[in-house]
Structure 1
């Protein structure tokens, strides 16, 4: 059941060739924990370029990361962020904002939202590329798990604004299901503590704030809010992780293997 739900999650959240089936879809929408579980797969793939951190120039590693994010995840989540950006700048009631989100025209709000988050992701990738490889890979993996945990949080505590993906996921779940999602996210914080802890926890925290904003401005959570939560959390989690490393990394020490040579790195 869980594997089927994860396959359904990967089929929806990524471009991986896992196939699509009604059984996998139904298992996915009824299992919020499938979101962070899928995050391990996606995060592991997009983190691969950071194995070359320290060997290749940071801009090269960062560019490879950005390319892998697009190749693995596609543009569905970014489209949700764009729609939310347009809705955020509209002066009107929730119904009018939802109408704007359904409009295929790209507005100033969408351009600003996409541009800001993309710039933040580029800067974060450059910063992460300057970390030790194991820390960098662990942080990118944790950020992706945190991004999917944000979506799981919306599925458990959100209120749907209208019929659609948001309602399909939210109606079958509740706050008690969030416990399982948090539990499956725990392995992502085992390496590079406390950097990874911060990266994972930013997901549900951001989701709670976004859910409250969506209730007030949109009348509830929609599929676009899910996509925006994913994109926002990824970028914010990477910056938070780098900040935690910069502020507190020197007070921990762990053994790291640097291409076969066992050394002690500052933590």
Structure 2
């Protein structure tokens, strides 16, 4: 069941060729823990470029990371961020804002939202690329798990604004169902405590803000809010993680084996 759910999550949350079946989709939407579990797979793959943090200039590593994010994670979530950006600048009621989100025209709100988050992600990647490779990999994985945990948080605490992906994922979920995704995210949080722990936890914290905003402005959470939370949380997690490592440093209980494996990979 869990493996099927993760395959369904990867089929929706990434561009990985895992196939699309009804059974995998149904398992995914019924299993909030599939979000962060899929985040590990995506996180490890997009972290490959930062293994070269010691060998290549930081801007090159950051550019390679951004490329990996686009190639592996795709642009579906960025589209949700763009739609929320357009809705944010509309003066009107929730119905008018949701109508703008369905419009295929890209407005100034979408451009500003995408540009700001892309810039934040690029600067975060540049900062990560300046860290030791093992720390950089740990933070990239934690950021991706945290981003997916933000989506799981929305699934468990949000209320649907209309029929669609959001209502399908939210159906039957309660805040108590967030426990399993949080447990699933613990290994990523423990890689380089406290930096990775704070990076992972920034995901659900940001999701709560997105949920509150969506409830007030859109009368609930829709599919676009999930995509926006993912993009916002990834960028925020990188900055939170880098700041925490720079100020606090430290390695977690998984660090010994983690460092040995990656040190062998880099040797």
Q: Same fold (TM over 0.5)?
A: yes
1:156-175: CA deviations, max 9, x gaps? 00000000000000013111
CA distance in 2, matches of 1:172, 1:27: 13
CA distance in 2, matches of 1:202, 1:30: 24
Question: What TM-score, normalized by structure 2, do the two folds share?
Answer: 0.94
After TM superposition, give the deviation of residue 19 of structure 1 in Å: 0.2
The answer (yes or no) to whether the contact 1:29–1:172 under 8 Å persists in 2 is: no
1:238-260: CA deviations, max 9, x gaps? 001011111112799x7756856
Matched, 1:166 2:166: yes
Greater than 3 Å deviation, 4+ residue runs? 254-260
1:181-224: CA deviations, max 9, x gaps? 10000010222111100110001111011101100000000000
Which residue of structure 2 lines up, in the alignment, with residue 58 of structure 1?
Answer: 58
Which residue of structure 2 lines up, in the alignment, with residue 29 of structure 1?
Answer: 29
Matched, 1:67 2:67: yes
The answer (yes or no) to whether the contact 2:195–2:250 under 8 Å persists in 1 is: no
CA distance in 1, matches of 2:234, 2:214: 19
5 Å matches for 1:222-261?
A: 222-249=222-249, 259=263
Which residue of structure 2 lines up, in the alignment, with residue 114 of structure 1?
Answer: 114
Which residue of structure 1 lines up, in the alignment, with residue 196 of structure 2?
Answer: 196
CA distance in 2, matches of 1:149, 1:191: 16
CA distance in 2, matches of 1:155, 1:61: 33
Which residue of structure 2 lines up, in the alignment, with residue 205 of structure 1?
Answer: 205
C-alpha distance 109-191 of structure 1, shift in aligned 2 (>3 A): same
Which residue of structure 2 lines up, in the alignment, with residue 265 of structure 1?
Answer: none
Q: Secondary structure at the match of 1:28?
A: helix
The number of residues matched between the two structures is 261
CA distance in 2, matches of 1:210, 1:57: 35
CA distance in 2, matches of 1:101, 1:249: 42
Which residue of structure 1 lines up, in the alignment, with residue 140 of structure 2?
Answer: 140
